Structure 1
Amino acid sequence: MSTPVRTSIATVSLSGTLEEKLVAIAAAGFDGFEVFEPDFVASPWSPKELRTRAADLGLTLDLYQPFRDFDSRSEDQFARNLVRAQRKFELMEELGCETLLVCSSPLPTASHDDGQLVEQFSALAELASEHGKKVAYEALAWGGHVNTYRHAWKIVEEVDHPSLGTCLDSFHILSRGDDPAGIRDIPGEKIFFLQLADAPFMAMDILQWSRHHRNFPGQGSFDLSTFAGHVHAAGYTGPWSLEIFNDVFRRADTQRTAVDAHRSLLHLEEQVSAAVSVGDGPELFTAPERTPLEGIVSLRVAAGPAKQDQLHTMLSSVGFHLVGRHRDHDLQLWRHGLLTIAVDATAGTVWSAPGLPADLPVLTQIGIRATEPEVWGRRALALEVPVEQVRLPGSADENAEVPDVVRLKVTDATSIDLRGPGSAAAWESAFDIYPLSAARNRAEASVLTGIDHVALAVPAESWDSVMLLLRSVFEMHPHEGLDVTDSVGLMRSQALTLVQDGSGNTLRISLNMVDGSRSGLPTVRRGGVSHVAFSCENIFAAAATMADWGYAPLPLSPNYYEDLEARFGLNAELLDRMRGAGILYDADAHGEFFHLFTPTVGADLFFEVVQRVGGYEGYGEVNSAVRLSAQLRAE
């Protein structure tokens, strides 16, 4: 029976002292670690003390790294480099570490002669063998001569020594655009080590990209599942290790980063497992499969007393009305057809947290209907995401083990609630419900049909963690990230989508990066960041009906419509109708997009109504600056 994949992480990936890093690595569930030489050099521990502490924590020391600039055109320098290598092998003996990482050299003095490189690495391999050690040769993407994995493997293959193999690093390979399919041609036993890193696509110097912007699998843009699938198919059986250089991670909470790191490897294993046939290699992790979701059906907004009147006015203007109040909490139930929004003014909720302006409206819960929330709970727990399983008073069987709601904390302010089929009735039983107007109900049926997407404010230090949670648990697909320029600055925005085959339901969440407060909650960005976009079938009919309910169009610049006519060739009649209702427009190769906005409630939250025509895939991001300018004028 095969054994699970062993997981490892380089100490450079985390903040803190070496002691703090090892404790966090062990607590997160890793099997081992790579010691980054500067971490060890700065540590007060002797080699024996590090070896003992690692063993006490149940960790193996999988790699000592990096050994730089080994090869040289100068024979005198090469002789000196062999002395350095011997000292490292002696140190590794004390540490209890078997493998040394040697990087290709970027220096002008590096050898550019493959024959000389073969001679030098033959000598290094023989020295390693004398000490019972191994050398993993890695091609740096910016190496002066050897800068591709194929070239590094060519040197290793020509040396043909049992103590010399190659190290494959996903960043060095994928950042260059290399095709990783050739990895399958490398014998698995000659792949001595595997280092994994994701990264967003960036147009910048590779060295700077590598040193500052790597992140964990599932947080960037690389196709790591295909890459790791090639490594697995080659027969590699060693650790899957993370080597991450990231400025945010270096100052983030050590334990939280380590937990995210381990989750990212589990998620990657699951992706590879779904794509490859079962072989003789290590057993890949799998989690319970996703079950159907019916989309977002409810929201909770926390707002203090001073902002509630403004929030109520805005809800009424888009067709929501108050239908009940909770008997035990300061919680109001607002409804539009099948859509529900709970307005929470209960003392001690998130709006009163330190660092946030008093009464700021905050989106605190996103309710998604799930046929089997308990399966999602098991899936999240398997991926090491904490969950709260809730049985609601008034459930059909309050003693049943199956939860009505599975709650996942996404940001410090907002959770996702996966609600079972009976949760709505059970939850509503705790409210005093008011009688509704039949005429109002009939009018609603032709206006808002659902929730198209939700946008969340995410502090910069939580960005990668939130991204990983949504991609691992829900397998949401990220769109290309955007830097949105508007009249109050520059904001990074990232949309994620989950399209469920056969169900017709699409889950869309957009993340907007903001500065964080001391509490870990997002600080206010004047002009709005968080919002809820409601879908409709006919935006012109929706705007007309909403006008009867008190909706006033945002004052959009006339220049905007002149530009639309020039860009898209829209006819004058359509432009006049859009201008009169404050409707904005975009189109892509798949369809069209019409949308309108409310003013902001406070400084952050606002509502949007959208109509998608055809298969339009975007969010109308090109209109962000126009929208924000109009909202600022409406304050």
Structure 2
Amino acid sequence: MCLSVSTTSIPGDLAEKLSAIADAGFGGVELHEPDLTAFDGPPSQIRNIASDLDLKICLLQPFHNLEGQVDAKRERAFDRLKRKLDLMSELGTELLLIGSAFEVDAATTEEQVIADLGEAAKIAKEMGLRLAYMGLPWSDLVHSDEQALRVVEAIDSPHLGLALNSFFSLADGSKPARLRDTPGERVFHVQLSDAPRIEMDIRRLKRHFGLLPGLGSLNLAGFVRVLSRAGYKGPWSIARVNEAAPQPGGRTLARDSYRSLVNLLDEVSRTEPGTDFGIPNLPERIYASGFEFVEFTADETSGAQLADMLSAMCFRMERKHVSKSVELWRQGAINILVNTEKEGFAHSAFLGHGPSVCDMGLRVKDADQTVQRATALGAPNFSQPVGTGELDIPAIRGVGGNVVHFIDEKSDLHRVWDIEFEPVAKTKATQPAGLRRIDHLAQTMRHDEMQSWLLYYISTFEMAKSPIVNVADPSGVVQSQAIESPEGEVRLNLNGAVGRRTLAASFLEDGFGAGVQHIAFQSDDIFETSAQLLKSNFPSLSIPENYYADLQATFGLDDDLIAQLRRGNILYDRAAGAEYFQIYSRPIFNGFFFEIVERRMGYTGYGAGNAPIRLAAQSKTQPVKEVQTQ
């Protein structure tokens, strides 16, 4: 069984594509004919390149408009087929994908389709090759899996089988169970592609909304499970995905494709004993039970600025590292590290990105298994020299270069604060502001990086994704997608900057790349927290008066509540009887900011309706930048 990907899914020239596909871990490719015709060399050279990379060319595709032709058109169609089969022999592949015809003679019947494809199967047999027939939704005659299978079974040749694409099988709302009576030996090739739930013409949907497995809403696990039970033993291939989406680069997209495919097949194999998809032996997806810490890298100036902000939120600096310039600030179950070292990873991150979040720690059941799963799916391992008395904490590099450490209770990792840090003398008592834990982190990235970040999280951890939301920035649009662990202990917002003038884009420019743009802390009582923040001179983001007038009209809030909200610059949202309260800090270095939230009655969102208000208020605090045009 082979893991494969279509060359048309990966940008670059053919040699670059094949190299990226092999490096990502694939064992096979679907060779898309336009990649072949654009290649400056004989087909045998492509065969040699693939062989040197240990890649099998699983199939050549596509071939269209074979059946249903008459007279000269039919003669030309079969001449094209014979030429294509000769080409396959030169390439070293034995399978050709034939899409059902979308240009046929008006008088063509299913009987004629069967006759034409039967003749094609005989020609393939003479050459020792095979044909995989796919029903295309926009075909004139054969536009479904059921019709294509009926044709294949009528011909009954080992040289003609069925090709399936999960997008075409499921995007119209069909269930995988309808394929359960499909004989596995009749299926020669399976392509996997995901999609969102959108009512749209399927051809347009495929072109503009095709996604890697796991990024959409199709039941791909059920699709694979049904075909596996039916006895399918051929390649599992990533089909061509959204041709209109921003592409993150060939090697990144190849790694994303491999990660998405292996994650899907791993999910199925756990519920189907005895299946062998030829994938690495992975630990289960990891349950992250909370944020153990967030670490900032800074110099003396930005470190002091951050310390002032933490003090204004009533954090206490409780401990210092035994050998490094690292401070531990605490409140409730929140651990914030401020690292002003002059060497090591944190300092390198500072030189590359300026003051920023460089590391975060997640609480997991087994830190070593977490690293094993993440690295098997393509995440780079992370290590640095361990000093005397320090713990070697398992870690990986997350997407974007930041580090993620993993803390468990199986060893001494959970005692890191006692082992590596010493208490500091308290000079004054600090009244806490009621901040309990980290509610969520928001990571900002380029729009074309979002799928990489999303796949990294949902394939490594037990996390569910919410639909993408378009957030109106005063200067453009930001796409936001929330993901969270089953009980909400770890929540992340992925924000993709679309334009060049948005605040998210400005953050990327100032920070020289993707990273954490804000951290939200959870309070049990937003009004008690707000009162304490006012006493400590917390620099809250000023919210326009018009917002509160509109809020009162929208939700019918009483005057006293509106006055409390206004006094604390608190934003409010309500959905299905559940309530959400938000306070934002003014931005500090590079546009980073803090948020304080309270959730009541099980509110699960993030106040998306308030985002334009927050962005407009923040834009007034940002210096105006000139955008250079070419």
TM-score, structure 1 length as denominator? 0.88
Letter in 2 for 1:618: G
2:627 alignment partner in structure 1:
none
Among candidates 348, 372, 378, match of residue 384 of structure 1: 378
Q: Deviations over 1:488-536 (max 9, x none)?
A: 2100111101115xxxx6211110112699xxx932499x981101011
Letter of the 1:352 counterpart: L
Kindly tell me: are residues 23 and 57 of structure 1, through their superposed partners in 2, closer, same or farther at Cα, counting changes over 3 Å? same
Matched, 1:197 2:193: yes
- 1:530-549 counterparts in 2 under 5 A? 530-549=517-536
Map 1:137-536; keep pairs closer than 5 Å.
137-201=133-197, 206-247=202-243, 252-275=248-271, 277-279=272-274, 282=277, 286-290=281-285, 293-326=288-321, 329-347=324-342, 348-353=347-352, 359=354, 361-388=355-382, 393=387, 404-421=392-409, 422-423=412-413, 425-426=415-416, 429-431=419-421, 433-436=423-426, 439-440=429-430, 443-444=431-432, 447-500=434-487, 506-514=489-497, 522-524=508-510, 530-536=517-523
Q: Over residues 163-190 of structure 1, what are the superposed CA-to-partner deviations in whole Å (9 max), with x where a residue is unaligned?
A: 2211111122233323332111110001
Contact 2:207 2:244 in 1 (8 A): no
More deviation in 101-110 or 617-626? Answer: 101-110
Q: Please report how far the alpha carbon of residue 192 of structure 1 lies from its aligned counterpart in structure 2 after TM superposition.
A: 0.8
Alpha-carbon offset, residue 626 of structure 1: 0.9
The structural deviation recorded for 1:333 is: 2.9
Q: CA deviation at 1:117?
A: 1.7
Q: Distance in 2 between matches of 1:189 and 1:256?
A: 34
Shift of 1:231: 1.7
Q: Which runs of 5+ in 1 are unaligned?
A: none
Equivalent residues in 2 for 1:104-123, closer than 5 Å: 104-107=100-103, 113-123=109-119
Give distance in 1, aligned partners of 2:397 and 2:264: 21
Instruction: Tell me, yes or no, if the aligned pair for 2:360 and 2:405 is still in contact at 8 Å.
Output: yes
Give the structure 1 partner of residue 36 of structure 2: 40
C-alpha distance in structure 2 between counterparts of 1:389 and 1:294, whole Å: 23
Which residue identity lines up with residue 450 of structure 2 in the other structure? W
Letter paired with 1:350: A
Indicate conservation of the 8 Å contact 1:514/1:523, yes or no: no
CA distance in 1: counterparts of 2:510 and 2:145, whole angstroms: 46
Partner of 1:96: 92
CA distance 1:112–1:493, change in 2 (3 Å) = farther
- 1:14-44 Cα deviation digits (max 9, x unpaired): 1222222222222322221111111111223
Determine the C-alpha separation between the residues in 1 that align with 2:245 and 2:388.
Answer: 44
Please say if residues 477 and 498 of structure 2, whose CA atoms lie closer than 8 Å, have aligned partners that are also in contact.
Answer: no
Of 549, 570, 581, which residue of structure 2 is paired with 1:583? 570
- Aligned partners of 2:22, 2:399: CA distance in 1, in Å? 25
Residue 206 of structure 1, CA deviation: 3.8
474-483 or 106-115: bigger deviation: 106-115
In the alignment, the residues of structure 2 paired with residue 415 and residue 303 of structure 1 have an alpha-carbon distance, to the nearest angstrom, of 16
3-state SS, counterpart of residue 180 of structure 2: helix
Give TM-score, length-normalised by structure 2.
Answer: 0.88
Label 1:344 to 1:371 Cα distance change in 2 as closer, same or farther (>3 A). Answer: same
CA distances 1:217-265 after superposition (whole Å, capped 9, x unpaired): 2233332212211221221100101122345888544333322222222
* Cα 1:103–1:291 shift into 2, 3 Å: closer
- Aligned residue for 1:574, secondary structure, equals helix
Whether the 8 Å CA contact 2:440–2:490 is kept in 1: the answer is: yes
What is the CA–CA distance in structure 1 between the aligned matches of 2:49 and 2:522, rounded to whole Å? 57
- Which SS does the other structure have where 2:329 is aligned? strand
Q: Do the aligned residues in 1 keep the contact of 2:332 with 2:434 (CA within 8 Å)?
A: no
Q: Give ranges in structure 2 of 5+ residues lacking alignment.
A: 501-506, 623-630
What percent of counterpart residues are identical? 33
Distance (Å, rounded) in 1 between the aligned partners of 2:105 and 2:259: 41
Shift of 1:103: 0.9
Q: How many angstroms does 1:334 deviate by?
A: 2.1
CA distance in 2, matches of 1:330, 1:64: 59
SS in 2 for 1:128: helix
**In 2, distance between residues paired with 1:263 and 1:224?**
15
Contact conserved, 2:280 with 2:376, CA < 8 A, in 1?
A: no
**Once the 2 structures are TM-superposed, how far is the Cα of residue 108 of structure 1 from its aligned partner?**
7.0
Task: Answer whether contact 2:436 2:521 (CA < 8 A) is retained.
Answer: yes
Residues 107 and 549 (structure 1 numbering): CA distance in 2 closer, same or farther, change over 3 Å?
Answer: farther
The offset of 1:377, in angstroms, is 1.7
Match of 2:3 in 1: 7
1:599-618 to structure 2, matched below 5 A, reads 599-618=586-605
Secondary structure of the equivalent of 1:94?
Answer: helix
